[in-house]
Amino acid sequence: MKEGETTEILTKDNQKFKGIILPSPDKNTIILKLESGYNIGIKNNNIKTYTSLGKPLLKEKKQTHKIEHNKNLKTILILHTGGTISSRVSYKTGAVSPGFSPEDILQMFPELKNKANIKSKLVGNMFSEDIRFSHYNKIAREIEKEIKNVDGIIVTHGTDNLSLGACALSFILENLNKPVIFVGSQRSSDRPSTDAALNLIAAANFIAKTEFNEVAICMHSRSTDEKCYILPACKTKKLHTSRRDAFRAVNSIPIAEVLKNGNINFLKEYKKKEHEEKLKLKLFNEKLKIGILKAHPNMFAFEIKNYQKFDGIVAEGTGIAGNFPINAVDKETREHQKIYNELKKLANKIPVIASSNCVFGRINMNVYDTGRKMRQAGILGNFSDMNTETAFIKLAWLLSNCKKTEAKKLLMKNFRGELAERTEYEEDFIQEA
């Protein structure tokens, strides 16, 4: 059996599978790309018989015609940074491979041709879990270079850290006057349930039909293919590992919904941002060490000591105040006084901002004694409604562009909609809709 050939396999329990042989990381396992688009692994010792069918199930399609510019349509640049959204199936090998040219994009998503003129550029092709501050800076520089020649930009991004990427670029791009929409795909294009097409087409449609000129995210609003949400860059979190509607607005509501038929409904009043000054990049200091310290039962003080050489910390505690175990109430909790002392030392040295392990809600350190003690220790963030990831990005951005003392003062200033005076919930919006 050779990679790329079509094979019919009969297993020892008399199950029959037909598909294309893919490269396998395990020499004892055959990987098949089935006609359904799904992959299956079959152990060699479970194969009863196999029959080579010689040629692939489907022929490779090629874009042959030249793409013509339509002066009546807006021009959108797709910047590829990675993720499954720009991948397509190769029927020579059955594997999923990236396609980055405008021809590739229109071949995979032909509906885009009627939405906008499509340009395409590869910035990087990596898993989003490997993203570093330097990558945010690289994406920002590409946007600065290209945005004057287009009407909007779509950034393809892996979903694991997509919301952090959108948040980071929202802070970097000062005086942005055109839309930058982050798009991902929870399920790759070789799967029947892929969400890549609708997410990308909805993002292009939103840019083409509106005057929106900020950074945002476009992903499925429900598990069905009815519509996508345009989500706020600094108020969005991935809440599920695999569902197509994994991304939700946190302490906010979606900006708009883009229906499958192309209609767009803004869900709250939107006014185009007017900037007199030109686009300016406020980049990240790539050498900064920003950490996330998470509270948990049976915590020890030496865990906090490990952060002494960091430049800033997000302290994700529990409940309404972002509580940490700092109360010595009996002999079993003597360690908690040491934890309090270490937190106080850390907060006197570097900015430490509180967040909560609760997804929704607002920090309030005035309610219980623990919160008040944390404030006395110098921990910042009282009344913040930022989630942990947004607090992490904002702290890194401030320390990259301000002195430490100024950064502490600016943590609770709203820059890009990351802090809300009034908390909104999607549940309230859904009941009204």
Catalytic positions: 84, 159-160, 238
**Apex CA 23: angle with CA 17 and CA 28, to 5°?**
70
Q: Given CA atoms 75, 159, 244, 84 in this order, what sign does their dihedral have?
A: positive
Tell me which residue of 95, 88, 87, 89 sits closest to 3, measured CA to CA. Answer: 95
Q: How far apart are CA 163 and CA 235, in angstroms?
A: 8
- What one-character DSSP code corresponds to residue 184? -
Tell me which residue of 134, 15, 131, 40 sits closest to 94, measured CA to CA. Answer: 40
**Full DSSP string of 216-234:** EEEEESSSSSSEEEEEETT
Helix (H) or strand (E) holding 426: helix 426-432
Angstrom distances, CA of residue 324 to CA of 166, 281, 352, 379: 29, 36, 13, 11
The structure tokens listed for 429 are: 């919006």
**Full DSSP string of 349-402:** HS-EEEEESSSSS---TTSSHHHHHHHHTT-B-TT----HHHHHHHHHHHHHHS
Q: How far apart are CA 179 and CA 196, in angstroms?
A: 20
Burial class (CB in 10 A: 0-12, 13-18, 19+), 234: buried
Q: Given CA atoms 396, 402, 406, 412 in this order, what sign does their dihedral have?
A: negative
Angstrom distances, CA of residue 108 to CA of 63, 88, 211, 393: 10, 7, 27, 34
Helix (H) or strand (E) holding 410: helix 404-410
CB atoms within 10 A of CB 409: 13
Tell me which residue of 179, 178, 180, 225 sits closest to 199, measured CA to CA. Answer: 225
> Which residues partner with 88 through β-bridges?
97
Q: How far apart are CA 417 and CA 385, in angstroms?
A: 11
